[in-house]
Chains A and B, each alone.
Chain A
């Protein structure tokens, strides 16, 4: 047999070299430090062009925003311009002539989420009516004065409007300020615009603020609220979520003004989203070290992936570790499992769920499957339709379980959709055959073995630290390769064989 030693050594040395380079030369910390308050934010747009000169205008953070770093833009087949006004900036994207689609993205890093103190003066715009803020409409004026009651001070008057919008306008569909008032219902933006209109009609300066909640997620929604000028200063008021004189925490202000943060002209089928990913200590260090030009380094690290892809790859990169665990349990320990990689698939599906609950759920599904199969067996059906019926039953069972769980508010949702239903069906089938052909004890042993391995994989996949480590040092997989090569040539005994063959064991010195 050809020796695997050279490959194994090459893998280990290669891995050590790459890790050493990153840690010693580039300065990426090997061990996790507490994550800084640093984030990578990305905005993406995708739309179909309907008319020439199609354009999208989006509010972006001011250049002077504290902590804003590493801005980058991507706009193939479109031109971009940045319009700067005092206290606000807009990115204007214009589709090139002849393009059928407009696709663009904008990305930046944010170190620390600080809000610049608002200046203590107002201007005309804060009092004047505008298309989006109809403070001069009779309906608005009537509503504003109707709610005044005994209010005499400005603060009391503001409070009255605040109570009105908070208590008497319900949540509804996207609408303008006027429609929101008429229907007594509207979305967050409609309600905030109405609030500002009511205040302006009472000659209280007020303005709309749009901010981005800086929280990890891939479909973050902008948050509209308002600032009201009272007693010589701007006071944050949110008549939708109910905050008076309390700025929303941990949000990045994007725009102040009546115009919506995103304006589209000549575009259809628009999808747009903001995604936020927390920067790890390592990414932060890397970014600091390699301001700007990263060159070769990008090839060695996965930081270059967009935030949305990053989340998927974080977990994907753990799969080889799962496979290593399966190999260890099979060839070193000797645990029997159903299907070589079923434990890995199950663990993947359960990674966001609490480990015990998730595994218990799978166990319940298997039990349900066995019961169904027992019933189906009595019906005397051909095997493939029978298996399909079993698969259908399993899916219905897990749907019902998920519905029940939501209804009773039990626990976080499991990514049940990702559960490998097909694999589970085959497992149930093989399990029942095994019971018949090899007896219940052996079948239960195999089931137990599968769950032990799955549990080990779940623990590995759930570890954030491990995810982080592997994500920033993907060369660690070379170690996994080396380990698998060594395991592949392991001819020693499995732990279960110590038990099985114990009667054949000989003490030192012969019989």
Chain B
């Protein structure tokens, strides 16, 4: 299947709940009550909501993460920020407790005393301090709580994505249910998204067939597209390198965080390979649109065949095989 089926033969606006149920679509209410409430204990949320904790746990478990440059915890410490960053031409500033890429600031170079963003705009010291100050005060954090500033090394795209990602690093999102990869997509930055892989901001998503790691067409602003809006490259049929490593990394995190329904964001760094960017205890449902397929059949299959009881490598193999069988049209 090279392109996402545009519309089945539904008569346009006569879509009903019954049709969605047949399509196996996971809705918000069901996701919240049957999966998140059931499998994500509340006390484990901080392990993924606070990126500093995520990093600590990941490093302890031997999971690769982007190297940390600094953590800023107080407004006072901002005075020394510039000195702290002296040796780094490029870095990424993010709120420790942010979500959906909010508050993330990417610096790709220097221009004298000023910082340069991927789109070329310049920030001076005061602008950077102001942004960090907002992060500390909880502007971008979930629930508006006081937050910490995380400064990480900037990752570089694997060259496989050069013609697909514009101005930023694409990331891979994998939904992992009870330690088994259920669905995946790749998010490609565009000019509109200012280098961020944030779908709300105009990035392009492409579903990923779990068996082969190949893209299944594109989704932009909720509508399917065939080509990348900036480079014009066809989106379908591209293979993600080191696909098994990506799935294995994602699947291993259920045990690391103790959460049964996770959205894992992985980046393929040019030098380091698959690296964990962040994890999400309330992953969105748009991934179904990117894949042209509902999540429920997969989640139910995982439960029915008790895949979560198997060892890591077998879980990954199962999900790849299941996906291939689906694509081949076996019900």
Contacts and interface: CB of A to CB of B under 8 A. Distances in A.
A383 B27 contact: no
Contact of A494 (B27, B100, B137): B27
Nearest to B126: A380
Contact of B20 (A380, A433, A490, A498): A498
A326 to B, nearest CB: 15
A418 B123 CA distance: 43
A25 B75 CA distance: 69
Most B CB within 10 A of own CB, among A384, A491, A510: A491
A499 B134 CA distance: 36
Contact of B10 (A382, A433, A502, A510): A502
Contact of A493 (B10, B25, B137): B25
A384 B33 CA distance: 35
B8 A501 contact: no
Interface residues of A, number: 31
Interface in A466-511: 489-494, 497-508, 510-511
Contacts of B323: none
Say which size band chain B's interface belongs to: 35 or more
Interface in B87-146: 100, 102, 126, 130, 133-134, 137-140
B139 A503 contact: no
Nearest to B101: A437
B9 interface: yes
A438 interface: yes
A315 B118 CA distance: 55
A506 B14 CA distance: 11
A382 B137 CA distance: 8
B288 A493 contact: no
Nearest to B331: A510
A208 B201 CA distance: 77
B23 A492 contact: no
Nearest to A380: B130
B137 A384 contact: yes
A497 B134 contact: no
Contacts of B9: 507
Contacts of B292: 503-504
A389 to B, nearest CB: 14
Contact of A490 (B5, B29, B140): B29
A499 B139 CA distance: 32
A501 B284 CA distance: 13
B200 interface: yes
Given A384-B137, A492-B29, A494-B29, A501 B20 contact: yes
Contacts of A494: 27-29
Interface in B261-300: 285, 288-289, 292-294
Given A382-B133, A511-B8, A504 B29 contact: no
Q: Which 8 A-B pairs have the closest CB atoms?
A: A505-B19, A383-B137, A506-B22, A491-B30, A493-B27, A502-B15, A504-B23, A506-B23
Interface of A: 331, 334, 380, 382-384, 433, 437-439, 442, 489-494, 497-508, 510-511
5 contacts: A492-B27, A493-B21, A498-B15, A505-B10, A506-B10
Given A491-B30, A500-B289, A501-B27, 20 more contacts: A380-B126, A382-B137, A383-B134, A433-B102, A437-B200, A491-B33, A492-B27, A493-B17, A494-B27, A494-B28, A494-B29, A498-B15, A499-B15, A501-B23, A503-B4, A505-B15, A505-B20, A505-B22, A506-B10, A508-B18
